[in-house]
């Protein structure tokens, strides 16, 4: 935990201002750790946290989770409150989020791991179009969000996507960072392979990348991605190495 907290402090010193956590991360310890780290500089950070699906079964249960997260984070408002995973009954979720927003306990609300079908279902609910973001898994090694049409759908709706695991996950991370195309683009720009991969997720300007690292030494590489502009040749090389295809998963199941 100490190393992770040092990584966050380094990120803040580099101007990285988005804090992403969730009530289920380390059973609430993650929120509490972030609360300690942002104390005294709350107005300088943008806090994102999430209500777990089992706690999103009613308006009251969502309120209970939100109030607990506020206590753990040591703040009186959350900038963006997300539904962590889809639930069967969405209207109570929207109603709860809208009520919390009206009371000033949250500034915005959104969802996570929603595909196009679920987004259409959400938008059909009164108040559903007030959704401010959809956080999904997205990287060069897993372009399912593109393959299933979500990236294009979100662009048409002007809905920001937040890309988690922008370097992939598991063995995919090593595959990505050792791919010749990524290494060549990185060498061209004088940056690391991870910087290139993160910058790629943000190439459209409508995707916010949220790389996770528990080590301070990688924070500067993450931060540089926001300053890197990939040209057409770079994008063509990367797209050729990692074509968009659907990888069935919990977030993007086979249809």
Which sequence positions are flagged as catalytic? 25
63-89 tens-digit pLDDT: 999 999 999 999 999 999 999 999 999
Q: Which helix (H) or strand (E) holds 78?
A: strand 78-83
* Residue 40 tokens, joined: 């005294």
Backbone dihedral region for residue 183 (phi beyond 0: left; psi -120 to 50: alpha; all else: beta): alpha
Average pLDDT of the chain?
Answer: 95
Distance of alpha carbon 89 from alpha carbon 80, whole angstroms: 21
Within 10 angstroms of residue 31's Cβ, the number of other Cβ atoms is: 26
Spatial contact of 146 and 120, defined as CB atoms under 8 Å apart = no
- Tell me the pTM: 0.95
pLDDT of residue 47: 98
Please report, for residues 118, 144, 150, 197, 210, the alpha-carbon distance to residue 115 in angstroms, rounded to integers and kept in the order given.
Answer: 5, 10, 6, 23, 19
pLDDT mean over 144-168: 97
Q: Which helix (H) or strand (E) holds 112?
A: strand 106-112
Distance of alpha carbon 129 from alpha carbon 109, whole angstroms: 11
Establish whether 84 is an annotated binding residue: yes
At 1, the pLDDT band (50, 70, 90 cuts) reads low
Q: Which domains does the chain have, with CATH numbers?
A: 1-126 (3.20.20.100), 133-208+219-243 (3.20.20.100)
At 15, the pLDDT band (50, 70, 90 cuts) reads confident
Q: Which helix (H) or strand (E) holds 189?
A: helix 180-189
193-222 tens-digit pLDDT: 999 999 999 999 999 999 987 777 788 899
* Residue 254 tokens, joined: 């086979």
pLDDT mean over 243-255: 88
Q: Give residue for tokens 């459209």.
A: 204
Q: Reading across the β-sheet that carries 46-51, which strands appear in turn? A: 18-20, 46-51, 78-83, 106-112, 134-137, 161-164, 207-210
Distance of alpha carbon 128 from alpha carbon 131, whole angstroms: 6
Report DSSP state, residue 234: H
* Residue 65 tokens, joined: 């989770």
């Amino acid at each position: 935990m100490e190393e992770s907290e040092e990584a966050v402090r380094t990120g803040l010193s580099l101007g990285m201002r988005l804090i992403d956590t969730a009530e289920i991360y380390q059973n609430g310890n993650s929120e509490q750790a972030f609360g300690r780290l942002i104390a005294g500089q709350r107005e300088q950070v943008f806090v994102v946290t999430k209500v777990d699906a089992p706690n999103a079964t009613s308006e009251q249960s969502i309120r209970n989770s939100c109030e607990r997260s506020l206590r753990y984070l040591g703040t009186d408002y959350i900038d963006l409150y997300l539904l962590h995973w889809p639930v069967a009954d969405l209207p109570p979720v929207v109603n709860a989020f809208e009520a919390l927003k009206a009371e000033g306990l949250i500034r915005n609300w959104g969802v996570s791991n929603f595909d196009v079908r679920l987004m259409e279902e959400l938008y059909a609910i009164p108040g559903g179009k007030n959704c401010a973001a959809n956080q999904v898994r997205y990287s060069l090694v897993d372009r399912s969000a593109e393959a299933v049409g979500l990236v294009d759908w979100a662009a048409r709706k002007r809905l920001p996507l937040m890309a988690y695991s922008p370097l992939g996950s598991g063995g995919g991370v090593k595959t990505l960072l050792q791919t010749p195309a990524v290494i060549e683009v990185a060498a061209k720009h004088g940056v690391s392979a991870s910087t290139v991969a993160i910058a790629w997720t943000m190439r459209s300007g409508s995707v916010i990348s949220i790389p996770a690292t528990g080590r301070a030494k990688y924070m500067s590489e993450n931060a540089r991605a926001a300053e890197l502009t990939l040209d057409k040749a770079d994008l063509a090389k990367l797209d050729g190495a990692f074509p968009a295809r659907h990888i069935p998963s919990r977030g993007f199941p086979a249809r």
